[in-house]
Amino acid sequence: MLDGTYDPDNIFAKILRGEMGCARVFEDDHVFAFMDVFPQAKGHTLVIPKHSTARNLLEEEPERITNLFLGVQRVAKAVRAALNPDGLVVTQFNGAPAGQTIYHLHVHIIPRWEGVPMGRHASGGMADMEELKALAEQIAAKIA
């Protein structure tokens, strides 16, 4: 559903408050980026707005969208520099029928390599946290 009430106890809100751990990639005044624990490809990174209660893109204030996508571009460039993929999927889902599972606005950055199929979300199970932390450090080192 596209409409609903923001749940302040969603997992991304808990990550922002420091109540849940994550493999942190980048943070500034506006965005927080971290590794997806159910990656569809090596280096699958999420970028979320820090000061938002928008469940999806349609609910967000324009200035926050601007800051979010500036952060997305910055992190996507770092993913590219760190992992040298053949391409990048940058995607954002709005509502369950579109594939959204966490109702806090977020953007996926998914590296793609020629001939390597993209996994389905969560189909491979939860990733190893130490591997995610190493990837996060590798990507973070390339953030300009």
In a domain? residue 134: yes
How many domains is the chain partitioned into structurally?
1
In a domain? residue 3: no
In a domain? residue 72: yes
In a domain? residue 34: yes
In a domain? residue 2: no
Residue 91, domain CATH: 3.30.428.10
Separation CA 15–CA 103 (nearest Å): 13
In degrees rounded to 5, what are phi and psi of residue 89?
-95, 125
pLDDT in tens, the chain (144 residues): 788 999 999 999 999 999 999 999 999 999 999 999 999 999 999 999 999 999 999 999 999 999 999 999 999 999 999 999 999 999 999 999 999 999 999 999 999 999 999 988 766 678 999 999 999 999 999 998
Separation CA 133–CA 117 (nearest Å): 23
Pairing type for strands 45-49 and 24-27 reads: unpaired
Residue range(s) defining the domain that contains residue 72: 11-114+123-140
Residues assigned a catalytic role: 106
pTM for the full predicted model: 0.96
